[in-house]
């Protein structure tokens, strides 16, 4: 813990949903949910309008639909749009200090002392107001909540105290006054199981946790976890900021609406996932030696199969071929609810055979995917065949009507709302799904 409040934590407010509302003016002020919108999909982000109905991240999308009124919007993620906004925000933070620890696509710590700033509470408050204002202008209105404190723990908790678009500075000496009334779930490492064990002991607030003896926590949680809780409850956090985080793996997975036992279909899905992972490796300038296939059954039993190559690769055909061999070793007769592909043991160079063999790379733009340990990396949008899947929320362009986004699709039709971040709410028109005049498009320019 530092002697001055010089660590800033920024958390963009409902980032994915806010970016969707920025780019889609007809959704402003309405409940917006981003995530897997079909079958067993889950909520990635909910706008604050949706949160008033109890919708939250990681909630099943089916539950979100039950809670929200008519007129709510359910959109699939547009990671390229989110990544572009994130890059602008992170660059602004790096102009404030050379030491920025990006935690995720919408969250970062900043060492303000490393930037040579006056670290008094009034100066920090004024600096944070300026940072927030510049972010809102540069991102087209996306806001962030800021916390500043003497440690990463205090700064992160402070940023969550006044959301959305909030600012809280916790001066040196005020840490315990702020922390102790808060629920224990605000602390790192206090998940549902730990919170329940503490509740059974009559501990609900951080202050009540701080009043317990270390020997109690060690008995309940063991040496490492018990010591960690004891220290954090006393605002004892001396972790340094880490400017660069190593990407440990790149992965993609798909949860099916109904369990899939057809091996041919699973192989097609696997090809899409493996190709998507390889393209993300290429976009990030990485390659990897270990390919892993993950399979989850109806009862949530999850198994993995891995193979390690002699040399790292970012070649799509090599990843596809290895993943197919691994899938062949997995029993799918009872059906799979989830299939995933990952590449790990990463490095910044690739060495492959001059003429790799295997199935040709395929487009994977329709597959929902995520990157483990790194920001999502999405390749430029490529041309799609006329019968490609249209996903609700995706960016499109019509030869006659211009740019817009998919409002809905099904039964061979696709409905598009033609509007953008700098237009008023636009008209809605429906086309055949194979209309040659309708194309996928990159995210709109909000500047």
Among all residues, which ones are annotated catalytic?
A: 107
Element (H, E) at 59: none
Residues 169, 341: Cα–Cα separation, whole Å: 42
Listed in sequence order, the residues at least 6 apart from 35 whose beta carbon sits closer than 8 Å to its beta carbon are: 41, 42, 43, 44, 45, 61, 64, 74, 76, 77
Q: What is the DSSP letter of 307?
A: E
Would you tell me how many other CB atoms lie within 10 Å of the CB of residue 365? 18
Where would I find the H helices in 5-71? 15-23, 48-51, 61-67
Residues 235, 212: Cα–Cα separation, whole Å: 15
Residues 18, 214: Cα–Cα separation, whole Å: 43
Say if CB 36 and CB 366 are below 8 A apart.
Answer: no
Q: How far is CA 264 from the centre of its chain?
A: 31
Residues 97, 113: Cα–Cα separation, whole Å: 8
For 201, the token pair is: 């002991």
Q: Tell me the C-alpha to C-alpha distance, in Å, between residue 294 and each of 1, 61, 322, 340, 426.
A: 41, 22, 13, 5, 42
In 141-209, the DSSP E strands lie at 144-149, 167-169
Residues 108, 131: Cα–Cα separation, whole Å: 13
Residues 100, 98: Cα–Cα separation, whole Å: 6
Q: Tell me the C-alpha to C-alpha distance, in Å, between residue 186 and each of 45, 198, 274.
A: 19, 13, 37
Where would I find the H helices in 246-404? 263-284, 316-327
For 392, the token pair is: 């609700």
The pairs formed by 168-172 with CB atoms below 8 angstroms and a separation of 24 or more are 169/5, 169/121, 169/124, 169/125, 169/128, 170/5, 171/5, 171/121, 172/2, 172/3, 172/4, 172/5
């Amino acid at each position: 813990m530092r002697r001055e409040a010089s660590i800033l934590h920024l958390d963009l407010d409902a980032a994915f949903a806010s970016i969707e509302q920025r780019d889609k003016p007809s959704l402003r002020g309405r409940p917006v949910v981003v995530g897997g919108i079909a079958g067993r999909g889950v909520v990635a982000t909910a706008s604050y309008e949706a949160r008033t109905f109890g919708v939250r991240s990681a909630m099943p999308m089916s539950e979100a639909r039950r809670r929200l009124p008519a007129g709510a919007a359910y959109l699939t993620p547009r990671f390229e749009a989110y990544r572009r906004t994130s890059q602008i925000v992170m660059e602004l933070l790096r102009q404030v200090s050379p030491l920025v620890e990006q935690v995720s696509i919408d969250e970062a710590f900043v060492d303000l002392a490393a930037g040579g700033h006056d670290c008094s509470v009034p100066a920090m408050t004024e600096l944070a107001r300026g940072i927030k204002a510049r972010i809102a202008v540069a991102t087209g209105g996306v806001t962030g909540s800021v916390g500043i404190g003497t440690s990463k723990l205090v700064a992160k908790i402070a940023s969550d105290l006044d959301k959305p678009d909030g600012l809280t500075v916790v001066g040196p000496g005020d840490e315990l006054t702020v922390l102790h009334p808060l629920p224990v779930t605000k602390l790192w490492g206090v998940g549902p199981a730990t919170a329940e064990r503490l509740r059974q002991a009559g501990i609900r607030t951080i202050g009540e946790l701080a009043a317990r003896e270390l020997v109690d926590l060690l008995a309940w949680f063991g040496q490492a976890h018990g010591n960690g809780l004891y220290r954090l409850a006393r605002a004892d956090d001396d972790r340094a900021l880490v400017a660069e985080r190593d990407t440990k793996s790149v992965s993609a997975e798909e949860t099916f609406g109904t369990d899939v036992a057809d091996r041919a279909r699973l192989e097609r899905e696997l090809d899409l996932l493996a190709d998507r992972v390889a393209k993300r490796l290429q976009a990030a300038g990485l390659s990897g030696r270990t390919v892993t296939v993950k399979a989850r059954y109806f009862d949530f039993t999850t198994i993995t199969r891995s193979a390690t190559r002699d040399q790292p690769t970012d070649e799509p055909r090599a990843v596809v071929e290895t993943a197919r061999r691994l899938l062949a070793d997995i029993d799918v007769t009872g059906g799979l609810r989830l299939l995933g592909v990952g590449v790990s043991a990463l490095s910044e160079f690739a060495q492959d055979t001059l003429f790799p063999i295997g199935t040709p790379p395929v487009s994977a733009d329709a597959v929902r995917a995520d990157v483990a340990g790194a920001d999502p990396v999405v390749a430029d949008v490529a041309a799609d065949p006329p019968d490609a899947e249209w996903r609700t929320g995706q960016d499109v362009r019509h030869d006659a009507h211009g740019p817009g986004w998919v409002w809905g699709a099904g039964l061979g039709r696709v409905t598009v709302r033609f509007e953008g971040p700098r237009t008023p709410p636009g008209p809605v028109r429906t086309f055949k799904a194979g209309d040659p005049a309708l194309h996928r498009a990159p995210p709109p320019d909000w500047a």
